Structure 1
């Protein structure tokens, strides 16, 4: 979607990193996400319903406003996983949905339905791997439901669960927070409440490293 110049330069690297990066995430927590540190930005970056990966007591929190249909989000997917593997006890990731693309809503519903079955990570991995099929940006697209075989997801149940009011509520709340925070591009990152003001993989690494060393 946004930052196509960056994506053109990183897409090849990202594609090669998907398989290696699959091992980096820790399971999505079923617990409520703890708040950001007391000195973090007071904007609504974290909500109890938001998916969290990594240890819940990590001193460094990356909040990513994420659109599953966004090409730049796909390119950054292995970058974030590598950061988490570098600091496995120090960093957690909280995902907030920013469904800017026409196919994003369906993908978000799939992710939330998969989360109910404990299949968030394999389904997220599959959606990122197959994004060009179901989010081809201007070309005819398959439904994202067609790429989920082999993830362990009970697809009929997930299709039913995807219509649940709680999932609709999650999407509505995230849309409100996207507006409140002023997010208009994805991915948008905050590290311990600090915005990533200069976009780039190295810049994100540097900001996380600085917060890890501080904490």
Structure 2
């Protein structure tokens, strides 16, 4: 094999190796980007609970108070939108503990998240909200029991609920409530756009408009 042929083969091998390496690198970067829940902002934080596909192109941020009657009324609609557009939409929950006792219910939800029970516990607490969210006199023992009824390990959850990490989540979310001037619950943002027409029709229209825009 002459020298010129050897050099040519060496160059070709180097190019192939570089191309393969570049492809592997770009693929890894794409996977890493898909694994990131969201760019951190005052609307979405790395600790924020997410319902739906983590990499969905449309992000609905809900500032939610688990004791809020309007949040309970909107919750089935939020779940319906998620079921209707499972590949397009994700829900990001931001805690907004305006009512008395809501901060402890947030602690229940955070403990449930550690046990991969966030969604069933949230759904149960919303469905049975009238049983525990009595304004001025919340029955928080009942809230714990409701969470246990859908599979929460109560002993482990109580220990988890008082950890400093949960304090930090509450503190961060309350700060972002103030930063975004949230004064009522639920408050929605869809891909950063606030819901102005606060109605079922307005909510669906805003979500559908964003889905159409990104497709």
Contact map agreement 2:51 2:119 (CA 8 A) in 1: no
In the alignment, which residue of structure 1 is the partner of 2:184?
A: 185
Larger helix proportion of the pair: 2
The aligned runs of 1:59-138 (5 Å cut-off) are: 59-138=57-136
- Compared with structure 1, are the counterparts of its residues 140 and 107 closer, same or farther at alpha carbon in structure 2 (3 Å cutoff)? closer
Contact map agreement 1:65 1:97 (CA 8 A) in 2: yes
Q: CA deviation at 1:59?
A: 0.9
Greater alpha carbon shift after TM alignment, 176-185 vs 130-139: 130-139
In the alignment, which residue of structure 1 is the partner of 2:52?
A: 54
Looking at structure 1, the residues matched to 39 and 171 of structure 2 have their Cα atoms a distance apart, in angstroms, of 20
Q: Deviations over 1:23-75 (max 9, x none)?
A: xxxxxxxx652228xxxxxx610000000111122111000000000000000
Q: Deviations over 1:105-147 (max 9, x none)?
A: 1110000001001111111111111111111224563521122
Tell me the secondary structure at the aligned position of residue 189 of structure 2: strand
- Compared with structure 1, are the counterparts of its residues 126 and 54 closer, same or farther at alpha carbon in structure 2 (3 Å cutoff)? same
In the alignment, which residue of structure 2 is the partner of 1:149?
A: 148
Deviating runs (4+, > 6 A) in structure 1?
none
Q: Deviations over 1:5-33 (max 9, x none)?
A: xxxxxxxxxxxxxxxxxxxxxxxxxx652
Unaligned runs of 5+ in 1: 1-30, 37-42
Contact map agreement 1:33 1:49 (CA 8 A) in 2: no
Tell me the secondary structure at the aligned position of residue 62 of structure 2: strand
Q: Deviations over 1:164-204 (max 9, x none)?
A: 00001000000000000000100000000000012111100
